Structure 1
Amino acid sequence: MTPTLVRHHLRQSGSPGSYDSSAPADFCGRARDWAEIQERMLVPLYEAVYDRLDVGPHTRLLGLGCGSGLALLIAASRGAQVCGVDADKERLDLARERLTPDSSREGHDDGPRAMALACGDAERAAADAGGTAFNLVTAFHPVGCVSSIEGLTASLVTAAGLTERGSPVVLGGWGPVERCATASVLRVAQRLADPLRTAGGWRPSGRDDLEDLADRAGLRPDGSGRVACPFGYGSLPSAVRGLLSTGLFDAALEVTDQAQVEKELSEALHPHQRPDGTVWMANVFRYLIART
């Protein structure tokens, strides 16, 4: 199966791996900020799941909301065959760069595999992969960041139908709010966006969010875990850029100007800034393994 990246047809504003054409941002620049600053914060989550499920050469993985492809790259480095689905064209372009071997060095294969990029959805990914059934689906983007649970549910139902029976579907989300230092910062987005009364942006996670989503999608829970995912940045400006790249502040940017959002975001980050200028916030993320 040729690893494939496919543009997701759903618009899930506010989630990692999302794209909303009305969002007030430089898409290319923000996608680069996501890839270079923010996406790596979830590496401990990716690694914990892959270790638990023994991801390797036998794995045929479909990543929903794959973003700029870091989770796919890690799986591919373990020998997995990977396909990615996402709504954000700019992030998918970066994923293709990451997952395409460097042909400039003769006799060397410096990338996991050649990737094909196409418009479509999970069904298109399966078709581009030669019709081979997947045996692992991941949806790592935090549930508390997804504006359309109905859309995500439909996407999971479609993806589950493309897997071998009994295959794991992994859902990711924020851990308890009291164990996530970033929650106090993300409340800035929630407060500024309140006049819109929008369903987008960030909200605190409920204890059973992942189980409720699995139930909506007709999946049966089969284990869960918690992983420390601290958010660390080299400077305050880097932290601001990284957090803005998530899309969680888009609703706030629709209500007020970017300078005001950046000012309030910087103020909220100040308590987490260390004497050397770095920013550090301890967080716990949670994952649920469900079965088709």
Structure 2
Amino acid sequence: MKSKKIIYLLVLPILNLIVLLFLLEVIESFIVVLSSVVLFYLFHSLKISKKYKKKGLNSLFILFYLAILFFPTSHFISYKINDNNYYLSDYLKESAHNRLENEKQYNQFSTLNYEVVKNSLSKENDSILNKLKLFKSIELNYLDSISLSVPEHHKKTKGLSGGGLAPPKYYLTLHRNNDRIDIIHHRNSTIRETLENYLDDYYSFYERSKDVKKEIGFVDFWFASISSFKFSEIIPNTYLTKSLWLFQSIISFILLFYISTNIPQLRINKR
């Protein structure tokens, strides 16, 4: 019965999370899912632990859910519906623009490289594109050469991209005339899959580069929202979003008050 009560209590956060994942990029999805799993695990541990008094845990969890997931999600969905619902500071736009420039350089996005990759997919033989590994003696129709390598310029920039994570070890290197393109390549991917991933990433980058507002993601809204938009580079800009902001501020105040008055009830019982 206790397990069922916990499941019922987690229904809304889980549904909220599922809806949110449809709007997020891969990296943001990973961050949100990981954070949510940690929160759910901690709550579940407290609920089933005999060392803790359980009074007030349900209300505390609901308030936490509203503050750190529901309201950030609501603001982000509102922004996705109409980006004019929020004012974005020039500093935030410049930061987003810099992220796009770093992404462009790191992934070697350009119209020329895009054309080379696209033509490689259409003009090279399937016997080459469907390989997991490359051998020295291969015949190419369009490219001058293709190989797996760890480019020197990627070694030097190790840890500067992807939120400080080290880049993948292998790169697929394409040569066409005097052009060289280094594309991230995973060991279990075929040549075709690597080239297709490059094109998908390029399309995503191109759409975001046309309108820098599309580069503003859930993580930006999450940090702004949990601080109730105080000292934030994002500000609600319509009556609807301002009303949501007001309601959120009230819930945040209740949460802080609830914590200050009820946390002692969650203390560890002495044996």
TM-score, normalised by the number of residues in structure 1: 0.25
Higher alpha-carbon Rg: 2
Q: Which structure would you say has the larger RCO, counting Cα contacts within 8 Å and 6 or more residues apart?
A: 2
TM-score, normalised by the number of residues in structure 2: 0.26
Considering fraction of residues, name the structure with more strand.
1
